């Protein structure tokens, strides 16, 4: 699932296999979306109970339409297109590591205005800002995050 707000904040996450259900959306977004927010989504049914449960204003854009009044999902559509172009460079990615690629891409988008020579330093700092012990053998046997 991907989301982009008008301020440029990006949400990416692997929340389920296939089409998301209400529980998947609730688990992924309930702590991310602020109270009194306006959600602009596609016409998927699972967003309706999620918005109702959390008292969000919901504007759903059906396929083929670009906007409804001032509301649109073009920002997230552009994000999807850009993400797909970026992933094509890798000749596809394993579902097991898709979350890593999503965060890598999100990071690259958040710091795309940084000078190229500063990016490795920033990446190293962000990657090591929290202490964790990760071994390659643990990465290879881990379960997907959304299970």
Domain extent listing, the chain: 2-141
Element of type H or E holding 72: strand 71-72
Contact between 40 and 73 under an 8 Å Cβ cutoff? The reply is yes
Q: How far apart are CA 40 and CA 42, in angstroms?
A: 7
Nearest to 25 by CA among 45, 4, 5: 45
| Other Cβ atoms within 10 Å of 118 Cβ, number | 10
Residue 55 sits at φ, ψ, to 5 deg, of: 55, 40
Q: What is the per-residue burial (b if ≥16 Cβ within 10 Å, else e) of 4-25?
A: beeeeebbbbbbbeeebbeebb
pLDDT tens across the length of the chain (147 residues): 999 988 888 999 889 888 999 999 999 998 889 988 999 999 999 999 999 999 999 999 988 887 888 888 999 999 999 999 999 999 888 888 888 899 889 888 888 877 777 777 777 777 666 656 667 777 677 776 655
Q: How far apart are CA 138 and CA 147, in angstroms?
A: 17
């Amino acid at each position: 699932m991907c989301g982009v707000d008008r301020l440029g904040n990006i949400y990416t996450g692997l929340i389920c296999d296939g089409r998301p259900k209400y529980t998947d959306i609730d688990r992924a977004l309930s702590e991310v979306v602020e109270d009194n927010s306006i959600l602009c989504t596609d016409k998927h049914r699972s967003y309706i109970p999620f918005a109702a449960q959390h008292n969000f204003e919901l504007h759903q854009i059906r396929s083929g339409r670009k906007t409804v009044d001032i509301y649109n999902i073009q920002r997230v559509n552009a994000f999807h297109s850009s993400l797909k172009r970026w992933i094509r460079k890798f000749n596809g990615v394993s579902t097991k590591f898709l979350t890593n690629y999503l965060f890598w891409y999100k990071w690259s988008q958040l710091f795309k205005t940084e000078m190229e020579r500063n990016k490795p330093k920033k990446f190293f700092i962000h990657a090591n800002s929290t202490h964790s012990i990760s071994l390659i053998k643990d990465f290879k046997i881990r379960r997907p995050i959304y299970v």
